Each structure stands twice: as C-alpha cells, then as structure tokens.
Amino acid sequence: MSEKAGQDLKVPVSPSDHVRGSPEARITVVEYGDFECPICRSAEPGVRMLLDQHATTVRLVYRHFPIESAHPHALMAAEAAEAAAAEGKFWEMHDLLMRQTARLDRKALHDYAAGLGLDLAQFTAALDDEIYRQRVREHVDGAVRSHVRTSPGLFMNGTLCDVSGGLHALGDAIAHRLR
C-alpha cells in the first residue's frame, strides 16, 4: 500500500459509477481497468474472489482506463460496456469482456450485445456515434490525475495500492483494514 502524497484517488466515487457489492461496505476498491489488458483479465478472478470473501465489507467500483497505444480494441470495448450500462447490463458485459478468451472486435461486441438481449439498433448507434466516448475519456482523465500509470490501477478507500507483485497486496491491505 502506498502512502505517498499525490497518489490518492482524485475523483471520488459517485452515483454514476459502476458498483458491485454492498452499498454499506467499509472498503471501496476502485479499479481503473482495460478490457484488452491481459493483466486486468488475469487479475479479474482474484478481484472476484476478494469480493466473494468479503461480500458485506468490500465493494468494487469499475472505471475505464483503455491503453489505446497497446490495445487497439480497448476503447471500443469500454464504449460497448457503457452502451450495455445504458440498458442496465454493465456488469454482464464487463464479465463477458474480461474473460481470458474474449474477442473485442466489432463483430464480437455485437454478438455479446445480442447474447445479453440488448437493443441492437441502440447499441450499434452508440458505437457508431461514439456517444460514450466522453465518459470513457473522463475516466481516463481521472486515472491520469490519480497517477495511474498502468492497468489495472487499484485504489483501496482512496489510496493507490501497488499490485505489481500480485493481488495479494490488495488482499493483505483489505485484511489489515478490516482488523
């Protein structure tokens, strides 16, 4: 856990965030993630395990941090997740996009939307017109202002958590905070 000044979460959690877990949780983990990032995809089962282990005490907030220079499909995948959110299915789309084998090309995103029963005309228009691009860009800006350099960027109760050595650092920080 880093305690350095200037590494705190700069954008507080708000009602517009995507939240998984109890609203009364004592611990809020904010993840800035990239759907095309292999590290984010590898970390996903560990994050889910932490949420399962601490179902009433930990909640997850997911924000987009597509690293476009390395992941050419990440931005459109983030926009697809936002289009799904407009129909109340953010987490269902998130889970599909985070699978190790998930494809993120336009056809695959359309197939996922169809599988979730989304309004395909609305979904297609959202991607064509880039109507959620500004929201994704705002998430990226928040990550940059919060000194996130790579994905996943994880914060526990507003403090950046260094998980470069593995998610056990986040698990240890949660356990310590819950004592």
Here the CATH number for the domain that contains residue 173 is 3.40.30.10
Phi, psi torsion values for 36, nearest 5 degrees: -95, -5
Q: What is the Cα–Cα distance from 118 to 113, expressed in whole angstroms?
A: 5
pLDDT at 178: 92
Between the CA atoms of 37, 41, 46 and 49, what dihedral angle is there, to the nearest 10 degrees?
130
Of 71, 75, 60, the C-alpha closest to 135 is 75
Is there a domain that residue 104 lies in? Answer: yes
Mean pLDDT of 122-134: 98
**How many Cα atoms within 13 Å fall on the side-chain side of residue 61?**
23
- Say how many residues make up the chain: 179
**Tally of domains within the chain:** 1
Please report whether residue 156 resides in a domain: yes
Instruction: Give the global pTM.
Output: 0.94
Does residue 103 lie in a domain region? yes
**For 80-94, what is each residue's pLDDT tens digit?**
999 999 999 999 999
pLDDT of residue 164: 87
In a domain, 13, yes or no: no
Range of the domain at 39: 18-178
Q: Which residues pair with 125 in a beta bridge?
A: none
List the one residue out of 65, 57, 54, 29 whose CA is nearest residue 150: 65
